């Protein structure tokens, strides 16, 4: 019987909705105001993210794809046939096809908060890899995940692409990597995509594209409040803002209030002055050595560091110590 995963507790749709309401109330009550970026990804948010990955300014997906096209065999050389691949924040699972194409995996468990992205990806992958057992899990990968059922003989390999680890500050990233290590077990391996430090202009353009797709993605958080929570909020009175915080080495995305106004949501009313912001996402940029040190502090040894020709992005193979 293959490895399977369960989230503890499970996340039925209605439970996720009230979780969104609770996060909005907490985030708009805090100072400075902030919302967790995982709430970007409802069906519309996942669609917009896919559009972002095709933008000329968004080098991340192209660079990571190029690395995996040339390096998947190398990264997976020690993986026994019949292994399980567990992906954290799988989205469309496009890059995953480059790992699944190796033929080494018998089971694929994509995990994502976006049920529509998971369902679309699973349907496509079932057509392309009919012999692969695909067991998607709608869950928050920061939750307490457990392997259930009899674990097969091969250990599980984790895949965490897309620079999603960059959404976590170094302390939370360390804690998350430690939990992933515990989940994947003593011979665990993790293939992880890490965005690298580079010049400010290139970074800012990737999160503030000329066509305004990233702005629509950011504003979708407010649109989602309207759709899911019946919020009263004027989308035209907020603007997308991107900045690079050089001291912390992170891109920040904010929603800026363009005028004095209120957001009414979940029975509460929040006043905004003109210029007041909601911090909606951070994306930490690393050096390969700095990320290897962070991973080491979470119990992972770095086995391989692959980069693209321009050294924009790194895919690293980690093994549990
Ligand atoms: C930056 S996108 C990357 C998508 C895809 N892996 C890629 O590389 O293109 C982040 C993905 O992780 C998912 N995600 C974000 N936070 C999550 C969380 N806490 N638990 C589960 N999925 C999450 C989002 O729904 C989205 O699909």
For atom 9 of ligand 1, which residue has the closest CA? 162
Write the burial class of residue 197 (CB in 10 Å: 0-12 exposed, 13-18 middle, 19+ buried). Answer: middle
Work out the average pLDDT over 87-107.
97
- pLDDT reported for residue 10: 46
Q: Distance from the CA of 47 to the center of ligand 1, in angstroms?
A: 12
pLDDT at residue 291 greater than cutoff 50:
yes
Q: Distance from the CA of 88 to the center of ligand 1, in angstroms?
A: 7
pLDDT at residue 12 greater than cutoff 70:
no
Confidence of residue 88 (pLDDT cuts 50, 70, 90): very high
Confidence of residue 154 (pLDDT cuts 50, 70, 90): low
Residue 39 lies in a domain: no
pLDDT at residue 141 greater than cutoff 80:
yes
For atom 15 of ligand 1, which residue has the closest CA? 38
Residue 141 lies in a domain: yes
The CATH number for 107's domain is 3.40.50.150
- pLDDT reported for residue 306: 98
Rounded to the nearest integer, the mean pLDDT of the chain is 93
pLDDT tens-digit map of 23-34: 999 999 999 999
Residue 91 lies in a domain: yes
Work out the average pLDDT over 294-303.
98
Residue labelled with tokens 């210029």: 275
Residue 215 lies in a domain: no
Residue labelled with tokens 């995990």: 111
Residue 103 lies in a domain: yes
pLDDT at residue 205 greater than cutoff 80:
yes
Residue 301 lies in a domain: yes
Confidence of residue 2 (pLDDT cuts 50, 70, 90): very low
For atom 24 of ligand 1, which residue has the closest CA? 89
Work out the average pLDDT over 177-192.
94
Q: Distance from the CA of 184 to the center of ligand 1, in angstroms?
A: 19
Residue 105 lies in a domain: yes
Residues constituting the chain: 321
Q: Distance from the CA of 146 to the center of ligand 1, in angstroms?
A: 19
Number of domains in the chain: 1
- pLDDT reported for residue 146: 79
Encoded tokens for 279: 């911090």
CA dist 32 and 64 (Å) reads 33
Q: Distance from the CA of 38 to the center of ligand 1, in angstroms?
A: 7
pLDDT tens-digit map of 213-243: 999 999 999 999 999 999 999 999 999 999 9
* Percentage above 90 pLDDT, the chain: 89
**How far does CA 69 lie from the centroid of its chain?**
21
Work out the average pLDDT over 179-198.
95
- pLDDT reported for residue 4: 61
Residue 204 lies in a domain: no
Our answer on whether the CB atom of 142 is closer than 6 Å to any ligand 1 atom is yes
Domain that holds residue 163: 57-198+286-320
Ligand 1 pocket, mutate which of 91, 108, 122 (most atoms under 8 A from CB): 91
For atom 8 of ligand 1, which residue has the closest CA? 162
- pLDDT reported for residue 149: 54
Confidence of residue 16 (pLDDT cuts 50, 70, 90): low
For atom 6 of ligand 1, which residue has the closest CA? 90
């Amino acid at each position: 019987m293959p490895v399977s995963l369960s989230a503890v507790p499970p996340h039925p749709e209605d439970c996720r909705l009230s979780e969104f309401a609770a996060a909005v109330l907490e985030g708009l009550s805090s100072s400075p105001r902030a919302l967790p970026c995982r709430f970007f990804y409802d069906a519309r948010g996942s669609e917009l993210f896919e559009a972002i990955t095709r933008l000329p300014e968004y080098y991340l997906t192209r660079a990571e794809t190029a690395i995996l096209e040339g390096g998947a065999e190398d990264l997976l050389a020690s993986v026994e046939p019949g292994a399980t691949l567990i992906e954290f924040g799988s989205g469309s699972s496009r890059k995953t096809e480059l790992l699944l194409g190796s033929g080494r995996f018998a089971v694929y468990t994509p995990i994502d908060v976006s049920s529509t992205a998971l369902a679309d990806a699973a349907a496509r992958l079932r057509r392309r890899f009919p012999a692969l057992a695909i067991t998607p899990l709608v869950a928050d990968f920061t939750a307490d995940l457990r392997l259930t059922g009899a674990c097969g003989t091969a250990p599980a390999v984790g895949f965490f692409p897309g620079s999603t680890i960059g959404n976590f500050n170094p302390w939370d990233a360390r804690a998350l990597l430690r939990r992933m290590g515990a989940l994947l077990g003593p011979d665990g391996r993790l293939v992880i995509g890490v965005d690298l430090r580079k010049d400010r202009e290139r970074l800012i353009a990737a999160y503030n594209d000329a066509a305004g797709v990233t702005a629509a993605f950011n504003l979708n958080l407010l649109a989602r409040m309207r759709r899911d929570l019946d919020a009263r909020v004027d989308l035209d009175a907020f603007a997308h803002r991107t900045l690079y915080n050089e001291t912390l080495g992170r891109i920040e995305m904010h929603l800026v209030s363009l005028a004095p106004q209120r957001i009414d949501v979940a029975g509460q009313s929040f006043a905004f002055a003109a210029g007041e912001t909601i911090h909606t996402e951070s994306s930490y940029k690393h050096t390969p050595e700095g990320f290897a040190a962070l991973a080491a502090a979470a119990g992972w040894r770095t086995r391989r560091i692959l980069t693209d020709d321009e050294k924009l992005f790194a895919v690293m193979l980690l093994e549990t110590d």
